[in-house]
Chain A
Amino acid sequence: MRKYKCFYLPCATLLLFVFYTAAFCQEDMIAVDRSDFDHPQRPAAIFNHDAHNENAEIEDCSSCHHLYEEGYLVQDVSSEDQSCSDCHTLKPSKTTLGLRKAFHTLCISCHKKEEKGPLLCGECHLIPPPK
Protein backbone atom coordinates (compact mmCIF):
# COMPACT_ATOMS: atom_id res chain seq x y z
CA MET A 1 0.00 0.00 0.00
CA ARG A 2 2.86 2.34 0.82
CA LYS A 3 3.93 2.69 -2.82
CA TYR A 4 0.53 4.19 -3.75
CA LYS A 5 0.80 6.84 -1.05
CA CYS A 6 1.68 9.55 -3.54
CA PHE A 7 -1.76 9.16 -5.16
CA TYR A 8 -3.75 9.82 -1.96
CA LEU A 9 -3.67 13.59 -2.10
CA PRO A 10 -4.44 14.00 -5.83
CA CYS A 11 -7.29 11.46 -5.55
CA ALA A 12 -8.77 13.21 -2.51
CA THR A 13 -8.56 16.55 -4.31
CA LEU A 14 -10.23 15.11 -7.38
CA LEU A 15 -13.06 13.57 -5.32
CA LEU A 16 -13.62 16.81 -3.44
CA PHE A 17 -13.80 18.68 -6.73
CA VAL A 18 -16.29 16.22 -8.25
CA PHE A 19 -18.63 16.21 -5.24
CA TYR A 20 -18.33 19.96 -4.70
CA THR A 21 -19.38 20.57 -8.29
CA ALA A 22 -22.34 18.19 -7.98
CA ALA A 23 -23.42 19.61 -4.65
CA PHE A 24 -23.16 23.31 -5.22
CA CYS A 25 -23.66 23.93 -8.89
CA GLN A 26 -27.32 23.74 -9.86
CA GLU A 27 -27.98 22.17 -13.22
CA ASP A 28 -30.10 24.05 -15.71
CA MET A 29 -33.76 23.33 -15.15
CA ILE A 30 -35.27 21.74 -18.25
CA ALA A 31 -38.53 20.26 -16.93
CA VAL A 32 -41.06 20.91 -14.19
CA ASP A 33 -40.29 18.87 -11.08
CA ARG A 34 -42.98 16.20 -10.77
CA SER A 35 -41.38 14.28 -7.92
CA ASP A 36 -44.09 15.43 -5.50
CA PHE A 37 -46.80 13.55 -7.37
CA ASP A 38 -47.60 10.09 -6.04
CA HIS A 39 -48.83 8.87 -9.41
CA PRO A 40 -47.60 11.20 -12.14
CA GLN A 41 -49.83 10.65 -15.18
CA ARG A 42 -47.74 12.26 -17.89
CA PRO A 43 -44.05 12.89 -18.61
CA ALA A 44 -42.74 16.00 -16.82
CA ALA A 45 -43.71 19.21 -18.63
CA ILE A 46 -40.84 20.69 -20.59
CA PHE A 47 -39.69 23.96 -19.06
CA ASN A 48 -36.26 25.39 -19.69
CA HIS A 49 -36.28 28.01 -16.92
CA ASP A 50 -33.56 30.34 -18.16
CA ALA A 51 -34.33 30.13 -21.88
CA HIS A 52 -38.06 30.58 -21.20
CA ASN A 53 -37.63 33.67 -19.06
CA GLU A 54 -35.18 35.25 -21.43
CA ASN A 55 -37.50 34.57 -24.35
CA ALA A 56 -40.59 35.77 -22.47
CA GLU A 57 -38.67 38.71 -21.03
CA ILE A 58 -39.66 37.88 -17.46
CA GLU A 59 -37.36 39.66 -15.04
CA ASP A 60 -39.54 39.80 -11.96
CA CYS A 61 -39.13 36.43 -10.16
CA SER A 62 -42.31 37.00 -8.15
CA SER A 63 -44.46 36.92 -11.29
CA CYS A 64 -44.23 33.12 -11.05
CA HIS A 65 -42.70 32.58 -7.60
CA HIS A 66 -45.60 34.37 -5.95
CA LEU A 67 -46.59 34.42 -2.31
CA TYR A 68 -50.16 34.37 -1.08
CA GLU A 69 -51.17 35.00 2.50
CA GLU A 70 -54.71 34.20 3.57
CA GLY A 71 -55.79 34.11 -0.04
CA TYR A 72 -54.28 37.46 -1.00
CA LEU A 73 -51.21 38.06 -3.16
CA VAL A 74 -48.36 39.67 -1.25
CA GLN A 75 -47.01 42.32 -3.60
CA ASP A 76 -43.30 42.37 -4.56
CA VAL A 77 -42.41 39.36 -2.44
CA SER A 78 -41.03 36.32 -4.22
CA SER A 79 -40.86 32.76 -2.97
CA GLU A 80 -37.95 31.11 -4.79
CA ASP A 81 -36.68 29.79 -1.50
CA GLN A 82 -39.76 27.58 -1.27
CA SER A 83 -40.91 24.61 -3.26
CA CYS A 84 -44.27 24.94 -5.10
CA SER A 85 -45.55 21.95 -3.15
CA ASP A 86 -44.90 23.69 0.19
CA CYS A 87 -48.17 25.56 -0.36
CA HIS A 88 -49.78 23.70 -3.28
CA THR A 89 -50.37 20.27 -1.82
CA LEU A 90 -51.68 17.42 -3.98
CA LYS A 91 -55.23 18.00 -2.75
CA PRO A 92 -56.51 21.56 -3.06
CA SER A 93 -57.52 23.48 0.05
CA LYS A 94 -60.11 26.24 0.36
CA THR A 95 -57.63 28.97 -0.49
CA THR A 96 -54.93 27.13 -2.43
CA LEU A 97 -55.01 25.30 -5.76
CA GLY A 98 -53.86 21.69 -5.82
CA LEU A 99 -50.37 21.13 -7.23
CA ARG A 100 -51.44 19.95 -10.68
CA LYS A 101 -53.94 22.75 -11.16
CA ALA A 102 -51.40 25.28 -9.86
CA PHE A 103 -48.87 24.23 -12.51
CA HIS A 104 -51.48 24.20 -15.28
CA THR A 105 -52.99 27.54 -14.27
CA LEU A 106 -49.63 29.28 -13.92
CA CYS A 107 -48.41 28.22 -17.36
CA ILE A 108 -51.63 28.16 -19.39
CA SER A 109 -53.19 31.39 -18.11
CA CYS A 110 -50.06 33.31 -19.10
CA HIS A 111 -49.79 31.56 -22.49
CA LYS A 112 -53.44 32.45 -23.16
CA LYS A 113 -53.01 36.05 -22.02
CA GLU A 114 -49.88 36.60 -24.06
CA GLU A 115 -51.16 34.48 -26.97
CA LYS A 116 -47.76 32.83 -27.03
CA GLY A 117 -46.49 29.47 -25.88
CA PRO A 118 -48.07 26.03 -25.91
CA LEU A 119 -51.67 25.29 -24.85
CA LEU A 120 -52.19 21.64 -25.81
CA CYS A 121 -51.42 18.84 -23.33
CA GLY A 122 -48.84 17.15 -25.53
CA GLU A 123 -47.02 20.35 -26.36
CA CYS A 124 -45.57 20.48 -22.82
CA HIS A 125 -45.85 16.81 -21.79
CA LEU A 126 -43.58 15.57 -24.54
CA ILE A 127 -43.02 11.94 -25.43
CA PRO A 128 -40.18 11.08 -25.02
CA PRO A 129 -39.65 13.44 -22.06
CA PRO A 130 -36.74 15.94 -22.18
CA LYS A 131 -33.46 14.63 -20.77
Chain B
Amino acid sequence: MDSTLRMLYHLAQGPLVWAAFILFWVGSVYQVARLLSLTRKMETRRRGRAPDEGPLSAARSTDGQPGRWSARLRLSIAGTHSLTIGVSVIFHTLLFMVPLFLLAHNILVDEAWGVSLFAFREKLSDYLTWLFLACVLFFLLRRILLARLRAISSFQDYYILFLAAAPFASGLLAYHQIFDYRTMITLHMLLGEIMLVSIPFTKIAHLFLFFVLRFLVNHEYSLGSGRRAWR
Protein backbone atom coordinates (compact mmCIF):
# COMPACT_ATOMS: atom_id res chain seq x y z
CA MET B 1 0.00 0.00 0.00
CA ASP B 2 1.49 3.32 -0.93
CA SER B 3 1.68 5.98 1.76
CA THR B 4 -1.26 8.16 0.59
CA LEU B 5 -3.58 5.17 0.37
CA ARG B 6 -2.34 3.88 3.73
CA MET B 7 -3.05 7.25 5.35
CA LEU B 8 -6.52 7.44 3.76
CA TYR B 9 -7.26 3.88 4.87
CA HIS B 10 -6.26 4.59 8.47
CA LEU B 11 -8.34 7.78 8.49
CA ALA B 12 -11.35 6.05 6.92
CA GLN B 13 -11.33 3.08 9.28
CA GLY B 14 -10.71 5.13 12.43
CA PRO B 15 -11.35 8.81 13.15
CA LEU B 16 -13.61 9.44 10.15
CA VAL B 17 -16.03 6.70 11.25
CA TRP B 18 -16.55 8.44 14.58
CA ALA B 19 -16.69 11.88 12.97
CA ALA B 20 -19.34 10.57 10.55
CA PHE B 21 -21.46 9.02 13.32
CA ILE B 22 -21.26 12.14 15.50
CA LEU B 23 -22.18 14.46 12.61
CA PHE B 24 -25.01 12.13 11.64
CA TRP B 25 -26.55 12.15 15.13
CA VAL B 26 -25.98 15.84 15.84
CA GLY B 27 -27.34 16.76 12.40
CA SER B 28 -30.36 14.50 12.79
CA VAL B 29 -31.31 15.87 16.21
CA TYR B 30 -30.86 19.42 14.90
CA GLN B 31 -33.09 18.77 11.89
CA VAL B 32 -35.86 17.18 13.94
CA ALA B 33 -35.70 20.08 16.41
CA ARG B 34 -35.79 22.56 13.52
CA LEU B 35 -38.83 20.89 11.99
CA LEU B 36 -40.61 20.83 15.32
CA SER B 37 -39.84 24.54 15.80
CA LEU B 38 -41.52 25.24 12.45
CA THR B 39 -44.72 23.64 13.71
CA ARG B 40 -46.87 24.29 16.74
CA LYS B 41 -49.14 22.19 18.84
CA MET B 42 -52.72 22.72 17.73
CA GLU B 43 -54.92 24.36 20.34
CA THR B 44 -58.04 22.35 19.63
CA ARG B 45 -57.76 18.89 18.21
CA ARG B 46 -59.85 18.21 15.17
CA ARG B 47 -62.40 15.51 15.58
CA GLY B 48 -61.44 12.24 13.98
CA ARG B 49 -58.05 10.80 13.18
CA ALA B 50 -57.32 12.81 10.06
CA PRO B 51 -58.35 15.94 8.19
CA ASP B 52 -61.40 15.87 5.98
CA GLU B 53 -59.76 17.04 2.79
CA GLY B 54 -57.18 15.39 0.61
CA PRO B 55 -56.89 12.45 -1.73
CA LEU B 56 -57.59 9.88 0.96
CA SER B 57 -60.77 11.52 2.20
CA ALA B 58 -63.07 9.53 -0.08
CA ALA B 59 -61.75 6.32 1.35
CA ARG B 60 -61.82 7.66 4.87
CA SER B 61 -65.51 8.45 4.64
CA THR B 62 -66.19 4.71 4.42
CA ASP B 63 -64.60 4.14 7.85
CA GLY B 64 -65.99 1.15 9.61
CA GLN B 65 -67.43 -0.37 6.47
CA PRO B 66 -66.13 -3.41 4.60
CA GLY B 67 -63.47 -2.70 1.98
CA ARG B 68 -62.15 0.35 3.81
CA TRP B 69 -58.51 -0.69 3.60
CA SER B 70 -58.64 -1.87 0.01
CA ALA B 71 -60.26 1.42 -0.96
CA ARG B 72 -57.57 3.37 0.89
CA LEU B 73 -54.87 1.34 -0.80
CA ARG B 74 -56.37 1.83 -4.24
CA LEU B 75 -56.54 5.57 -3.80
CA SER B 76 -53.11 5.84 -2.21
CA ILE B 77 -49.86 6.18 -4.15
CA ALA B 78 -49.41 2.40 -3.87
CA GLY B 79 -52.54 2.03 -5.98
CA THR B 80 -51.80 4.74 -8.49
CA HIS B 81 -48.05 4.00 -8.96
CA SER B 82 -47.82 0.33 -8.01
CA LEU B 83 -44.59 -0.48 -9.86
CA THR B 84 -42.65 2.49 -8.48
CA ILE B 85 -43.88 1.82 -4.94
CA GLY B 86 -43.01 -1.88 -5.32
CA VAL B 87 -39.46 -1.03 -6.44
CA SER B 88 -39.24 1.60 -3.71
CA VAL B 89 -40.18 -0.91 -1.00
CA ILE B 90 -37.55 -3.36 -2.27
CA PHE B 91 -34.97 -0.54 -2.53
CA HIS B 92 -35.53 0.73 1.02
CA THR B 93 -35.64 -2.77 2.52
CA LEU B 94 -32.36 -3.74 0.86
CA LEU B 95 -30.77 -0.39 1.77
CA PHE B 96 -31.00 -1.39 5.43
CA MET B 97 -30.97 -5.17 5.23
CA VAL B 98 -27.90 -5.82 3.06
CA PRO B 99 -25.32 -3.81 5.06
CA LEU B 100 -26.83 -4.82 8.40
CA PHE B 101 -26.77 -8.55 7.72
CA LEU B 102 -23.59 -8.63 5.62
CA LEU B 103 -21.19 -11.29 6.86
CA ALA B 104 -18.03 -9.20 6.43
CA HIS B 105 -19.55 -6.25 8.36
CA ASN B 106 -20.66 -8.55 11.16
CA ILE B 107 -17.23 -10.18 11.42
CA LEU B 108 -15.65 -6.72 11.76
CA VAL B 109 -18.14 -5.69 14.48
CA ASP B 110 -17.59 -9.00 16.22
CA GLU B 111 -13.83 -8.48 16.15
CA ALA B 112 -14.20 -5.00 17.59
CA TRP B 113 -16.94 -5.44 20.18
CA GLY B 114 -17.55 -9.18 20.43
CA VAL B 115 -21.16 -8.91 19.25
CA SER B 116 -22.74 -9.65 15.90
CA LEU B 117 -26.07 -10.10 14.20
CA PHE B 118 -27.33 -12.93 12.07
CA ALA B 119 -25.61 -12.78 8.65
CA PHE B 120 -26.64 -13.81 5.15
CA ARG B 121 -24.45 -16.08 3.08
CA GLU B 122 -22.17 -13.95 0.95
CA LYS B 123 -23.64 -15.26 -2.30
CA LEU B 124 -27.10 -14.06 -1.22
CA SER B 125 -25.77 -10.63 -0.23
CA ASP B 126 -24.11 -10.51 -3.64
CA TYR B 127 -27.41 -11.16 -5.48
CA LEU B 128 -29.28 -8.71 -3.24
CA THR B 129 -26.70 -6.02 -3.99
CA TRP B 130 -27.24 -6.50 -7.73
CA LEU B 131 -30.99 -6.26 -7.12
CA PHE B 132 -30.47 -3.04 -5.14
CA LEU B 133 -28.41 -1.53 -7.95
CA ALA B 134 -31.12 -2.52 -10.42
CA CYS B 135 -33.61 -0.55 -8.28
CA VAL B 136 -31.24 2.44 -8.38
CA LEU B 137 -31.09 2.18 -12.16
CA PHE B 138 -34.91 2.11 -12.27
CA PHE B 139 -35.11 5.34 -10.24
CA LEU B 140 -32.39 6.98 -12.32
CA LEU B 141 -34.03 6.11 -15.65
CA ARG B 142 -37.42 7.17 -14.31
CA ARG B 143 -36.02 10.53 -13.28
CA ILE B 144 -34.33 11.05 -16.66
CA LEU B 145 -37.09 9.71 -18.92
CA LEU B 146 -40.32 10.98 -17.36
CA ALA B 147 -40.83 14.62 -18.31
CA ARG B 148 -42.97 15.42 -15.27
CA LEU B 149 -40.24 14.10 -12.99
CA ARG B 150 -37.41 15.70 -14.93
CA ALA B 151 -39.12 19.05 -14.53
CA ILE B 152 -38.87 18.95 -10.74
CA SER B 153 -35.45 17.27 -10.51
CA SER B 154 -32.44 19.14 -9.25
CA PHE B 155 -28.79 18.19 -8.86
CA GLN B 156 -29.45 17.00 -5.31
CA ASP B 157 -31.95 14.38 -6.48
CA TYR B 158 -29.24 12.74 -8.57
CA TYR B 159 -26.66 13.26 -5.85
CA ILE B 160 -28.65 11.43 -3.17
CA LEU B 161 -29.27 8.54 -5.55
CA PHE B 162 -25.51 8.43 -6.12
CA LEU B 163 -24.89 8.55 -2.35
CA ALA B 164 -27.16 5.55 -1.82
CA ALA B 165 -25.71 3.55 -4.70
CA ALA B 166 -22.00 4.31 -4.32
CA PRO B 167 -21.27 2.34 -1.11
CA PHE B 168 -23.11 -0.65 -2.59
CA ALA B 169 -21.31 -0.47 -5.94
CA SER B 170 -17.88 -0.02 -4.35
CA GLY B 171 -18.61 -2.83 -1.87
CA LEU B 172 -19.57 -5.09 -4.74
CA LEU B 173 -16.38 -4.28 -6.66
CA ALA B 174 -14.30 -4.82 -3.52
CA TYR B 175 -16.01 -8.15 -2.80
CA HIS B 176 -15.30 -9.40 -6.31
CA GLN B 177 -11.82 -7.81 -6.15
CA ILE B 178 -12.36 -5.95 -9.40
CA PHE B 179 -9.86 -3.07 -9.78
CA ASP B 180 -7.33 -2.53 -6.99
CA TYR B 181 -8.79 -4.12 -3.85
CA ARG B 182 -7.23 -1.82 -1.26
CA THR B 183 -8.23 1.32 -3.16
CA MET B 184 -11.77 0.01 -3.56
CA ILE B 185 -12.25 -0.94 0.10
CA THR B 186 -10.91 2.47 1.20
CA LEU B 187 -13.26 4.17 -1.26
CA HIS B 188 -16.10 1.99 0.07
CA MET B 189 -15.51 3.19 3.63
CA LEU B 190 -15.15 6.84 2.60
CA LEU B 191 -18.33 6.74 0.50
CA GLY B 192 -20.23 5.15 3.40
CA GLU B 193 -19.04 7.91 5.70
CA ILE B 194 -19.95 10.63 3.19
CA MET B 195 -23.42 9.08 2.92
CA LEU B 196 -23.84 9.01 6.69
CA VAL B 197 -22.83 12.66 7.08
CA SER B 198 -25.07 13.68 4.17
CA ILE B 199 -28.21 12.08 5.62
CA PRO B 200 -29.32 14.99 7.87
CA PHE B 201 -28.27 17.71 5.45
CA THR B 202 -29.80 16.48 2.20
CA LYS B 203 -33.17 15.09 1.12
CA ILE B 204 -32.09 11.76 2.65
CA ALA B 205 -33.26 13.41 5.88
CA HIS B 206 -36.61 11.82 4.98
CA LEU B 207 -35.10 8.85 6.84
CA PHE B 208 -36.38 10.46 10.06
CA LEU B 209 -38.33 13.52 8.89
CA PHE B 210 -40.80 11.16 7.20
CA PHE B 211 -41.93 9.96 10.62
CA VAL B 212 -42.06 13.44 12.12
CA LEU B 213 -44.10 14.83 9.23
CA ARG B 214 -46.44 11.95 8.64
CA PHE B 215 -47.21 11.15 12.26
CA LEU B 216 -47.01 14.52 14.01
CA VAL B 217 -48.03 17.18 11.52
CA ASN B 218 -51.65 17.47 10.51
CA HIS B 219 -52.12 17.47 6.73
CA GLU B 220 -53.80 15.55 3.97
CA TYR B 221 -51.17 12.80 3.96
CA SER B 222 -51.06 12.28 7.73
CA LEU B 223 -50.75 8.70 8.83
CA GLY B 224 -51.36 9.24 12.52
CA SER B 225 -53.43 11.63 14.53
CA GLY B 226 -51.37 14.69 13.68
CA ARG B 227 -51.54 17.13 16.56
CA ARG B 228 -49.20 19.74 15.15
CA ALA B 229 -49.72 22.36 12.44
CA TRP B 230 -47.34 24.59 10.54
CA ARG B 231 -46.71 27.92 12.19
CB distance from B103 to the nearest CB of A (A): 6
Provide the A79-116 mask, 1 if CB < 8 A to any CB of B, else 0.
00000000000000000000011001100100000000
CB distance from B78 to the nearest CB of A (A): 37
Q: Is the CB of B177 within 8 A of A127?
A: yes
Is the CB of B121 closer than 8 A to any CB of chain A?
yes
Provide the B91-103 mask, 1 if CB < 8 A to any CB of A, else 0.
0000000000001
The majority secondary structure among interface residues of chain A is: helix
Q: Which residues of chain B are within 8 angstroms of A42 by Cβ–Cβ distance?
A: 122
Q: Which residues of chain B are within 8 angstroms of A41 by Cβ–Cβ distance?
A: 103, 121-123
Q: Which residues of chain B are within 8 angstroms of A108 by Cβ–Cβ distance?
A: 111
Q: Is the CB of A126 within 8 A of B177?
A: yes
Measured as residues with beta carbon below 8 angstroms from the partner, the interface class of chain A is 10 to 19
Measured as residues with beta carbon below 8 angstroms from the partner, the interface class of chain B is 10 to 19
CB distance from A41 to the nearest CB of B (A): 5
20 A-B residue pairs with Cβ-Cβ distance under 8 Å, sorted by A, are A39-B121, A41-B103, A41-B121, A41-B122, A41-B123, A101-B110, A104-B107, A104-B111, A108-B111, A120-B182, A120-B185, A121-B107, A121-B185, A122-B174, A122-B175, A122-B177, A122-B181, A123-B182, A126-B177, A127-B177
Chain A residues within 8 Å of B, Cβ to Cβ: 39, 41-42, 100-101, 104-105, 108, 120-123, 126-127
